[in-house]
């Protein structure tokens, strides 16, 4: 993980937030290449749900919802972690994860194991961030930053029945920021207090819930494989009954083998009609679906694939990170699926003269209409290749002396390091072809 954190900082992918003020625990800022990478992750998620299906529609709901939302959803009463304080070192720990904590005193031990540790009784701590709206701070002005995007979908369910002309089974998908006052954030962007979720609530007739649960488990697992995650680093793990959230009658996690071990990447849950029932009761609105032909009415059941955009980005980074030896030097390379790579192609004139920069810029102009490309003329060609390898650019296009004579360029492949000559007139089509070809991680089976 340390190597990935350091590469991310060095190459402008992800930085610790507010660093000039000493940082603020577990907040991160995405730099230029990180924005491009995470945007690609989210775009692939939207593609799989919206573009490649016709039974899912999109939503972007507000972060601050009516406070009754969180009463109805159960978050106000039950979205808590057990917390203990140490009276000696003043640190806070999750009572159920003491084995992951570190005592503040030297020699550092697990909380509770040091000679001076003085832990309080465990008490429940609500993870929702609270703030107030409007100029007067009284009880009625208290609101919460959403701890999941899902509830915004349930609040809008009625609108979707009316305008979208969809009937169950259909889904509403949303991507956006969620906030949790995690007691022990950490492991880079794996657990933060402010993070992005990609969630879909799929509303189904109650007797179809089991079959759609199976469908979405497989479909979401396959999505990561298709984007190049190695199969031996990915698994589906069903929750034990004592792990289930208050709303769930069945949950499976897609887990990835991060450098910190197997951890949750995405959860697929059977939420039943819990949420619609609660919101119907608290809002006194009828949220039933009514079939206009048969007159049948029911509260749909919900299957929810809930993924984290940051955790997915981190998994793709971990899976892609590699080092190899070239000419006696260690090369760091991100072997990202081309669809996820922040930059698809770099255009590099071999020298800064003889018409090469002009020809390279001409190519850049043509390619940028189709894909994210970058121009770089600074430094030795080998160092420029390495810079592109470090951000995962799959192809580097070099304009050289021969290019000026016969309008061909070399295309260097990030993974195989092969270079082939391609006519400039065929370059865009060739890159399009490569971008859409099936792809497998060259790291598969290597470790």
**Interface residues toward ligand GAP, by CB under 6 A:** 148, 150, 180, 182, 191-192, 195, 197, 199, 264-267, 304, 306-308, 310-311
187/398 with CB nearer ligand GAP: 187
- Beta carbon of residue 191, minimum distance to ligand GAP (angstroms, whole number): 4
- Beta carbon of residue 410, minimum distance to ligand GAP (angstroms, whole number): 40
DSSP characters over 304-370: EEEEEHHHHHHHHHHHHEEEEEETTEEEEEE---TTT-S-SEEEEESSSSTTHHHHHHHHHHHHTTT
160/385 with CB nearer ligand GAP: 160
56/265 with CB nearer ligand GAP: 265
- Beta carbon of residue 383, minimum distance to ligand GAP (angstroms, whole number): 35
Cβ-proximal residue to ligand GAP, closest one: 308
259/357 with CB nearer ligand GAP: 259
- Beta carbon of residue 429, minimum distance to ligand GAP (angstroms, whole number): 37
The helix (run of H) or strand (run of E) holding residue 386 is helix 381-391
- Beta carbon of residue 84, minimum distance to ligand GAP (angstroms, whole number): 20
- Beta carbon of residue 427, minimum distance to ligand GAP (angstroms, whole number): 38
For the CA atoms of the chain, what is the radius of gyration?
25
**Residue 127 phi, psi (nearest 5):** -85, -5
Distant-in-sequence, close-in-space partners of 230: CB < 8 Å, separation ≥ 6:
319, 441, 443, 444
Q: Residue 106 CB: number of other CB atoms within 10 A? A: 7
145/359 with CB nearer ligand GAP: 145
308/338 with CB nearer ligand GAP: 308
> How far, in Å, are 238, 267, 270 from residue 251 at the CA level?
6, 7, 6
Check whether the bond before 316 is cis (ω within 30° of 0).
no
The first and second tokens of residue 310, run together, are 């940051």
- Beta carbon of residue 353, minimum distance to ligand GAP (angstroms, whole number): 49
Whole-number Å distance between alpha carbons of 116 and 352: 66
- Report how far Cα 393 is from the mean position of its chain's Cα atoms: 20
> How far, in Å, are 2, 91, 113, 262 from residue 104 at the CA level?
22, 7, 11, 27
304/376 with CB nearer ligand GAP: 304
């Amino acid at each position: 993980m340390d190597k990935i954190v350091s590469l991310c900082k060095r190459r402008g992918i992800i930085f610790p937030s507010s660093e000039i003020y000493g940082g603020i625990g577990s907040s991160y800022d995405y730099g230029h290449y990180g924005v491009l990478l995470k945007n690609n992750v989210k775009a692939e998620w939207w593609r799989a749900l919206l573009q490649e299906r016709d039974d899912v529609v999109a939503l972007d709901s507000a972060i601050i919802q009516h406070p009754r939302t969180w009463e109805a959803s159960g978050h106000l009463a039950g979205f808590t972690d057990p917390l203990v304080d140490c009276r000696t070192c003043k640190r806070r720990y999750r009572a159920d994860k003491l084995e992951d904590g570190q005592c503040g005193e030297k020699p550092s031990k697990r909380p509770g194991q040091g000679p001076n540790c003085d832990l309080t009784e465990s008490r429940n701590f609500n993870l929702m961030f609270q703030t107030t709206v409007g100029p007067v701070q009284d009880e009625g002005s208290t609101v919460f930053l959403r701890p999941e995007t899902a509830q915004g979908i349930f609040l809008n369910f009625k609108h979707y029945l009316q305008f979208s002309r969809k009937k169950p089974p259909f889904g509403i998908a949303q991507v956006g920021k969620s906030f949790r006052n995690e007691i022990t954030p950490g492991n880079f962007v794996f657990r933060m207090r402010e993070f992005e979720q990609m969630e879909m609530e799929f509303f189904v007739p109650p007797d179809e819930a089991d079959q759609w649960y199976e469908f979405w488990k497989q479909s979401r697992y396959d999505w990561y494989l298709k984007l190049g995650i190695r199969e031996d680093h990915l698994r589906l793990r069903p929750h034990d009954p004592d792990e289930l959230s208050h709303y769930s009658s069945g949950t499976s996690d897609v887990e990835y083998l991060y450098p910190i071990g197997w951890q949750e990447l995405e959860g697929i849950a059977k939420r039943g009609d819990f949420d619609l029932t609660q919101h119907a009761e608290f809002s006194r609105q009828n949220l039933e679906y009514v079939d206009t032909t048969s007159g049948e009415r029911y509260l749909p059941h919900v299957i929810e694939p809930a993924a984290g955009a940051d955790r997915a980005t981190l998994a793709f980074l971990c899976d892609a990170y590699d080092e190899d030896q070239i000419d006696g030097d260690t090369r760091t390379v991100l072997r990202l699926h081309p669809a996820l790579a922040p930059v698809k192609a770099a255009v590099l004139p071999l020298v800064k003269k003889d018409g090469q920069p002009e020809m390279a810029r001409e190519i850049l102009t043509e390619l940028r209409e189709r894909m994210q490309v970058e121009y770089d003329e600074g430094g030795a060609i080998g160092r420029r290749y390495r810079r592109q390898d470090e951000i995962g650019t799959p192809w580097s296009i070099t304009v050289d002396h021969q290019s000026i004579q016969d309008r061909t360029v070399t295309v260097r492949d990030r993974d195989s390091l092969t270079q082939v000559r391609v006519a400039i007139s065929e370059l865009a089509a060739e890159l399009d072809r490569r971008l859409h070809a099936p792809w497998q991680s060259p790291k598969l089976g290597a470790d």
